[in-house]
């Protein structure tokens, strides 16, 4: 399958070019709840990049400000060890099985590089997260075997297993998936990882882990100590709003993390690590974000139900809905109302991804959609 469009191509190739550049120049959390902010096509409410519309929390912000005094020191003042210990403790794994990076994207790209160097193909569901790992692996010329999602748009593990060939080096599973925020059944995924990791690497990207509400979900982190070919990533970019600050985590065997580290070229921002420590400890803030996310999702579900539009009950900070028309047209028409929503995700070109904004902004989106398509 060759009709994949990366976010990069979408921004460069489409009418979004001018908008994308303006977006970067105005990159702050636009919300109609903020005095004086008027959503426009050039400066839209951001419902396109699965960001946290509330931004970093106060405690993290203060910790980062304080940590600037270590800015002149290599290592940034020693935040890495306590952050690693905190995360390892939360996940109940030894610290040697945890790595910190400047965003999980660093690790995703490095794993793609590892595969490029070792040789072999990537086996992945379609659609899935097509940025970072996929984009980087495309640029390294790594071949893919794409497996369509099931009828209900969830990742089809049986079909993935059936599509495996001896030249597959890694299986990429995004759980929850992106752009379709479904999850795989925990027990089934665990068995899949155990079996398939005897044959190749199995990479489980858990970027949206914190948002999951499906009781059958399970993280694959507990597998990493006994199954050295399993690797898991998490990120502080989503519920912790560190997308621009850049902190992410890898979980794997010491052999696996050793290979990844040996190829990494990035370094980690010192103050960011002190901020992450406070943010991960601040469960009140996380609960607040989850509550607001659920409110926004409910506004979207109610709207989609009202118009009989198929959609996914989300396990993340975005959902996926059927537009019944070219998603590029939907993007353009909604952008005129001052709202940026997801880009086209082949092969589901008559569906659209939408990230949650604050509930007030999400309501504003439904009103714009109503006006544009139903009146
Ligand atoms: C599934 C998935 N994995 C990884 C990432 C990259 O996140 P980070 O900001 O940690 O690089 C994203 C970002 O949107 C994502 O959606």
- pLDDT per position as a tens digit, 135-180: 999 999 999 999 999 999 999 999 999 999 999 999 999 999 999 9
Q: Is the pLDDT of residue 210 over 80?
A: yes
> 105 CA to middle of ligand 1, Å?
6
> 207 CA to middle of ligand 1, Å?
6
> 353 CA to middle of ligand 1, Å?
15
CATH 3.90.1150.10 domain locations along the chain = 7-55+284-374
> 307 CA to middle of ligand 1, Å?
31
Pocket test for ligand 1, best of 50, 129, 180, 320 (most atoms within 8 A of CB): 129
- Distance between CA 189 and CA 14 in Å, rounded? 37
Q: Is the pLDDT of residue 278 over 50?
A: yes
From the options 3.90.1150.10, 3.50.50.60, 1.10.287.610, 3.40.50.970, give the CATH code of 7-55+284-374.
3.90.1150.10
Residue 208 CA: nearest ligand 1 atom is 1
The pocket around ligand 1, CB under 6 angstroms, is made up of 50, 103-105, 108, 129, 132, 174, 178, 205, 207, 235, 237, 243, 248
Q: Is the pLDDT of residue 16 over 80?
A: no
User: What would the mean pLDDT of 114-142 be, rounded to a whole number?
Assistant: 96
Q: Is the pLDDT of residue 328 over 90?
A: yes
Q: Give the residue whose CA is nearest to atom 11 of ligand 1.
A: 105
- Distance between CA 154 and CA 345 in Å, rounded? 15
Residue 247 CA: nearest ligand 1 atom is 10
> 243 CA to middle of ligand 1, Å?
8
Using an 8 Å Cβ cutoff, are 247 and 272 in contact? yes
> 173 CA to middle of ligand 1, Å?
13
Pocket test for ligand 1, best of 6, 47, 108, 268 (most atoms within 8 A of CB): 108
- Report the pLDDT value the prediction gives residue 26, as an integer from 0 to 100: 46
> 35 CA to middle of ligand 1, Å?
30
Q: Which fold has domain 58-281?
A: 3.40.640
Q: Give the residue whose CA is nearest to atom 3 of ligand 1.
A: 207
Per-residue model confidence as pLDDT tens digits over 56-91: 999 999 999 999 999 999 989 999 999 999 999 999
CATH 3.40.640.10 domain locations along the chain = 58-281
Per-residue model confidence as pLDDT tens digits over 251-269: 999 999 999 999 999 899 9
> 375 CA to middle of ligand 1, Å?
37
Q: Give the residue whose CA is nearest to atom 15 of ligand 1.
A: 207
- Report the pLDDT value the prediction gives residue 1, as an integer from 0 to 100: 36
Q: Give the residue whose CA is nearest to atom 2 of ligand 1.
A: 207
């Amino acid at each position: 399958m060759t009709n994949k469009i990366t976010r990069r191509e979408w921004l460069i190739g489409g009418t979004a070019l001018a908008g994308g550049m303006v977006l970067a120049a105005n990159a702050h959390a636009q919300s109609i709840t903020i005095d004086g902010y008027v959503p426009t096509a050039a400066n839209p409410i951001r419902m396109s990049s699965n960001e946290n519309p509330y931004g970093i929390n106060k405690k993290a912000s203060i910790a980062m400000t304080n940590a600037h005094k270590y800015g002149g020191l290599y290592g940034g003042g020693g935040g890495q060890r306590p952050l690693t210990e905190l995360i390892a403790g939360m996940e109940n794994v030894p610290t040697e099985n945890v790595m910190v990076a400047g965003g999980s994207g660093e690790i995703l790209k490095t794993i793609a590089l590892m595969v490029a160097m070792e040789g072999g193909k990537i086996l992945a569901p379609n659609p899935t997260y097509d940025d970072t790992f996929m984009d980087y692996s495309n640029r390294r010329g790594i071949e893919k075997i794409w497996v369509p999602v099931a009828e209900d748009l969830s990742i089809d593990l049986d079909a993935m297993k059936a599509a495996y060939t001896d030249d597959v080096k890694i299986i990429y599973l995004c759980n929850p998936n992106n752009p379709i925020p479904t999850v795989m059944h925990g027990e089934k995924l665990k068995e899949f990882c155990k079996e398939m990791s005897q044959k190749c690497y199995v990479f489980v990207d858990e970027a949206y882990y914190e948002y999951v509400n499906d009781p059958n979900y399970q993280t694959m982190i507990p597998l990493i100590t006994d199954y050295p070919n399993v690797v898991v990533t998490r990120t502080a970019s989503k519920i912790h709003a560190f997308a621009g600050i850049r902190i992410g985590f890898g979980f794997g065997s010491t052999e696996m993390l050793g290979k990844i580290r040996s190829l990494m070229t990035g370094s980690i921002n010192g103050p960011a690590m002190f901020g992450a420590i406070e943010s991960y400890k601040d469960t009140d803030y996380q609960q607040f974000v989850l509550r607001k996310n659920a409110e926004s999702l409910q506004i979207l579900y109610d709207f989609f139900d009202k118009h009989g539009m198929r959609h996914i009950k989300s396990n993340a900070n975005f959902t996926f809905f059927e537009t019944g028309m070219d998603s590029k047209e939907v993007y353009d028409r909604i952008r005129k109302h001052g709202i940026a929503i997801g880009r086209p995700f082949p092969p589901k070109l008559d569906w659209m991804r939408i990230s949650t904004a604050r509930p007030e902004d999400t309501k504003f989106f439904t009103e714009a959609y109503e006006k544009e398509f139903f009146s």
